[in-house]
Amino acid sequence: MLEFEIVKNEKHSKARLGRLKLARGVLDTPVFMPVGTTGCVKTLYHETVRNIGYQLILANTYHLHLQPGEEVLDSFGGIHNFSSWDRNILTDSGGFQVFSLSNLRKIKDEGVTFHSHIDGSIHKFTPESVVRTQGIIGSNIAMCLDVCSDPKVTRKDAVRHMEVTHDWASRSLAELGKLRNDGGKAPDNLFGIIQGAFCEDLRKQSAEYISSLPFDGIAIGGLSVGESHEDFIRYLSYTVNYVDNSRPLYVMGIGSPLYMLKAVENGIDMFDCVQPTRVARHGLLYTKDGVMNITKAKYRNDTHPISDGCSCTLCRNYSRGYLRHLFKAGETFAGTLASEHNLTFFYDFMRNVRESIEQDRFLEFEREFLDNFRTSPL
Whole-angstrom distance, CA of residue 317 vs CA of residue 297: 21
Closest distance of CB 317 from Zn ion, Å: 10
Whole-angstrom distance, CA of residue 166 vs CA of residue 194: 8
Q: Whose Cβ is closer to Zn ion: residue 207's or residue 306's?
A: 306
Confirm whether 216 is a catalytic residue: no
Q: Whose Cβ is closer to Zn ion: residue 38's or residue 295's?
A: 295
Whole-angstrom distance, CA of residue 376 vs CA of residue 372: 6
Return the residues of window 193-222 that contact Zn ion according to CB under 5 A.
none
Which of 146, 216, 272, 348 is catalytic? The answer is 272
Return the residues of window 306-365 that contact Zn ion according to CB under 5 A.
310, 312, 314-315, 341
Q: Check residue 242 and report its DSSP letter.
A: G
Whole-angstrom distance, CA of residue 102 vs CA of residue 164: 19
Whole-angstrom distance, CA of residue 17 vs CA of residue 13: 12
Closest distance of CB 345 from Zn ion, Å: 7
Closest distance of CB 37 from Zn ion, Å: 23
Whole-angstrom distance, CA of residue 350 vs CA of residue 182: 40
Find the largest Cα–Cα distance for the chain.
64
Closest distance of CB 28 from Zn ion, Å: 21
Confirm whether 308 is a catalytic residue: no
Q: Whose Cβ is closer to Zn ion: residue 145's or residue 312's?
A: 312
Looking at the DSSP assignment, which residues form a beta bridge with residue 20?
4, 27
Q: Whose Cβ is closer to Zn ion: residue 191's or residue 345's?
A: 345
Closest distance of CB 48 from Zn ion, Å: 12
Q: Whose Cβ is closer to Zn ion: residue 141's or residue 292's?
A: 292
Whole-angstrom distance, CA of residue 338 vs CA of residue 112: 37
Please tell me the count of residues contacting Zn ion according to CB under 5 A. Answer: 5
Which of 92, 188, 216, 348 is catalytic? The answer is 92
Whose CA is closest to 54, among 102, 90, 81, 78? 90
Under rule CB under 5 A, residue 44 binds Zn ion: no
Whose CA is closest to 124, among 144, 104, 141, 148? 104
Which active-site residues does the annotation give?
92, 272
Residues that bind Zn ion in the complex, under the rule CB under 5 A: 310, 312, 314-315, 341
